[in-house]
Amino acid sequence: MQNRRVSSLEASESLSARAPEGVPFASAQAVTGPPHVEEPTDYDGILLAGFGGPEGQDDVIPFLRNVTRGRGIPDERLEEVAHHYRHFGGVSPINAQNAALKSALEAELASRGLDLPVFWGNRNWAPYLEDAVREAADAGAKTLLGLATSAYSSFSSCRQYREDYARVLTETGLAGTITIDKVRQFFDHPGFVAPFIAGVRDAVAGFLAEGVPADRIRVLFSTHSIPLADAQRSGPRDIDFGPGGAYAAQHEAVAEIVMSEIAEAIPEATGIGWELVYQSRSGPPTQPWLEPDVCDVIGELPGRDIDAVAIVPLGFVSDHMEVLWDLDTEAMEAAEEAGIRAVRTPTPGIDPAYVSGLVDLIEERLRGDAASDRPHRTSLGPWFDVCRPGCCENVRAGFKPAAAGIAP
């Protein structure tokens, strides 16, 4: 990046001074809008929020209608995406993965003596967030801590979840009964970063053992592309993160940490190059999205004298459809066509380090840890507990009411 990265700790004092009182739908500790909530909070439930996915062929188009609601996209266009799901029998693996994550979180919470139920709900398919919040209310929960299965800052990966929290509380009539805060975006938490380090280390070590020279190996860190205008509005508007906003800056910062760890662990890997690439673009050709595309870059690698590529799904927490189709299918086909060796490294899934890290994030809010004591691997962290005014605007739809953040 050309711009100096500003950490959330550096920004906290000035942002806090400008924060108005009254964060909607928030706990008493978060309602005044501090960047980092440094008071203990007695949460009585965790709201695990997922994206959701179809469970059969008949679910595919209704699911995609949910995902694209309000955009007026006809079914014939949705079918262009539906074939990804139909290739796998109409079943997305994401629900099974979130069920496994819920079980893993419950086990880790219990091992630490934390009596906190986990209520799981999705934005776009059953079980829905509405059902999870009603279940929490029926169980007597009043103060929930949201944990979305997304690590980075953007409209679709953070604010949209916060808007759904607000919508669900309003539509269920529980806004005066239940509050919802959220854990900070965890892109640079050690528990999230560790599985990526391990995966890249194994891929690089494998290539080197096969006799591929370091300067003929490339590491591609892949994440979901988003509209450029949305990327530029990701993160607090008061901080200049560069042309890709906080979304791109966060990914770049984590990739740098991963490659630094690889160079330290495998000295002969020092000369390996890397770059951030994007996938899963779905917008019209006239709309600028973050680039370059992963498959386009793979096609160029032979011309750069690259013989092997490690494809790292840095933007994803589990092996859902964008990983299975865009990387395991299309990107691997692109590598085969280019005549280069390719390995796709693992997502965190239910890796013990990742699950433990998520519970660490829950505990830091239960205790009200000082921001200066919170673990983070990049200079951008620790990220904010309460999202700042104007953070992650949706250019198309503007700002809607959202929980866990200060209204713009």
Beta bridge partners of 179: 143
Residue 280 and residue 132 share a domain: no
Tell me which residues of the chain have a pLDDT lower than 50.
1-4, 13-20
- According to the model, what pLDDT value does residue 7 have? 65
Determine, yes or no, domain membership for 362.
Answer: yes
Residue 359 and residue 314 share a domain: no
- According to the model, what pLDDT value does residue 193 have? 98
Tell me how far apart the terminal alpha carbons of the chain are, to the nearest angstrom: 27
Residue 60 and residue 138 share a domain: yes
d(CA 365, CA 184): 9
Determine, yes or no, domain membership for 389.
Answer: no
d(CA 240, CA 246): 8
Determine, yes or no, domain membership for 387.
Answer: no
Residue 216 and residue 89 share a domain: no
Tell me how crowded residue 38 is: count the other CB atoms within 10 A of its CB.
18
pTM comes to 0.94
Beta bridge partners of 120: 48
B/e letters for 310-327, b = 16+ CB within 10 Å, e = fewer, are bbbbbbbbbbbbbbbbbb
Residue 210 and residue 75 share a domain: no
d(CA 73, CA 89): 23
Tell me how crowded residue 402 is: count the other CB atoms within 10 A of its CB.
25
What is the residue range of 118's domain? 8-187+351-373
- According to the model, what pLDDT value does residue 178 have? 98
> Is 50 within 8 Å of 131 (Cβ atoms)?
no
Beta bridge partners of 143: 179
Residue 115 and residue 232 share a domain: no
- According to the model, what pLDDT value does residue 146 have? 98
Determine, yes or no, domain membership for 406.
Answer: no
Final residue in a domain of this structure, among 326, 344, 362:
344
Determine, yes or no, domain membership for 395.
Answer: no
Tell me how crowded residue 208 is: count the other CB atoms within 10 A of its CB.
17
| Residue 126, domain CATH | 3.40.50.1400
Sheet strands side by side (includes 143-148)? 118-122, 45-50, 143-148, 179-182
Residue 216 and residue 152 share a domain: no
Residue 360 and residue 270 share a domain: no
Determine, yes or no, domain membership for 80.
Answer: yes
pLDDT tens for 167-226 read 999 999 999 999 999 999 999 999 999 999 999 999 999 999 999 999 999 999 999 999
Q: Is 30 helix (H, G, I), strand (E, B) or coil?
A: coil
> Is 338 within 8 Å of 378 (Cβ atoms)?
no
Determine, yes or no, domain membership for 220.
Answer: yes
Domain count, the chain: 2
Residue 283 and residue 195 share a domain: yes
Final residue in a domain of this structure, among 323, 344, 365:
344
Residue 161 and residue 54 share a domain: yes
Determine, yes or no, domain membership for 270.
Answer: yes
> Is 259 within 8 Å of 271 (Cβ atoms)?
no
> Is 216 within 8 Å of 308 (Cβ atoms)?
yes
- According to the model, what pLDDT value does residue 19 have? 43
- According to the model, what pLDDT value does residue 14 have? 44
- According to the model, what pLDDT value does residue 394 have? 92
Residue 356 and residue 221 share a domain: no
Can you give the C-alpha Rg of the chain in angstroms? 21
Tell me how crowded residue 256 is: count the other CB atoms within 10 A of its CB.
17
d(CA 397, CA 70): 9
- According to the model, what pLDDT value does residue 11 have? 56
Residue 216 and residue 335 share a domain: yes
